[in-house]
Copies of this chain bind each other. A is one copy, B any other.
Amino acid sequence: MDVRGPIGRDSETCQLRDVLDRVGDKWSALVMALLGQGPRRYSELHRAIEGISQRMLTLTLRGLERDGLVIRTVTPTTPPRVDYALTPAGRTLSIELASLIRWAELHREYVTESRRRYDEREALLKTGA
C-alpha cells in the first residue's frame, strides 16, 4: 500500500492495512487456517486447497515464511519431503482468523438477506424509473 495523510499516519489504521496486506490476499488466510489444524506437506496443501496453482501455493508459502508466520522444513530424502507448519506467531494470527470465521458464521444469513433486499430495491428503482 501507499496511504499517506490523516489515516495513513494513524498508527492503528496503518497497522490494519499491514495485517490485511498479509492475509487479505486470495490464499494466505486459507493456508493459515489449514496449517492451524497441524503441519502439512506441500502436496497435501496442494490437494486440500482445491483451485490453487502450484505457483500461487509456492508464492503464498514463501510470503508467509518471509513474514515469520510459517516455517518450512526440508527432509532431503528421495524424493524430497517438505513440511510446512505455523510458527508461534502464526498460531496467534490463525486464532484471530478463527475469530473472524465465527463472526462470519454468526452474520452469514444477515449479510445474505441484506444483499437480497438491497438488490431488490435496486431493481425496483430501475423498473419504476
Residues of A within 8 A of B (CB): 1-8, 11-13, 15-20, 22-26, 29-30, 33-34, 47-51, 65-69, 89, 92-93, 96-97, 99-101, 103-108, 110-111, 113-115, 118-119
Contact among B26, B67, B68, B110 with A68 in the assembled complex (CB-CB below 8 Å) = B110
Counted per complex, copies of this chain come to 2
Complex interface: chain B residues within 8 A of A34 (CB): 7, 13
Please tell me if the beta carbons of A108 and B15 are within 8 angstroms of each other in the complex.
Answer: yes
Of B4, B12, B65, B107, which one neighbours A89 at CB under 8 angstroms?
B107
Out of B2, B20, B47, which one reaches A51, CB within 8 Å?
Answer: B2
Q: Looking at chain A's contact residues, is the secondary structure mostly helix, strand, loop, or mixed?
A: helix
Task: Give the interface centre of A2, A104, A115 by most chain B CB atoms within 10 Å.
Answer: A104
Contact A100 B16, CB 8 Å, known A65-B118, A66-B114, A114-B68: yes
Q: A111 to chain B: which residues have CB within 8 Å?
A: 18, 22, 67-69, 89
A-B pairs with beta carbons under 8 Å apart, 14 shown: A7-B34, A8-B50, A12-B101, A13-B34, A16-B101, A17-B30, A18-B108, A19-B103, A19-B104, A22-B111, A65-B118, A68-B110, A96-B100, A100-B100
Given A68-B111, A115-B66, A115-B67: A48 touches B15 (CB 8 Å cut-off): no
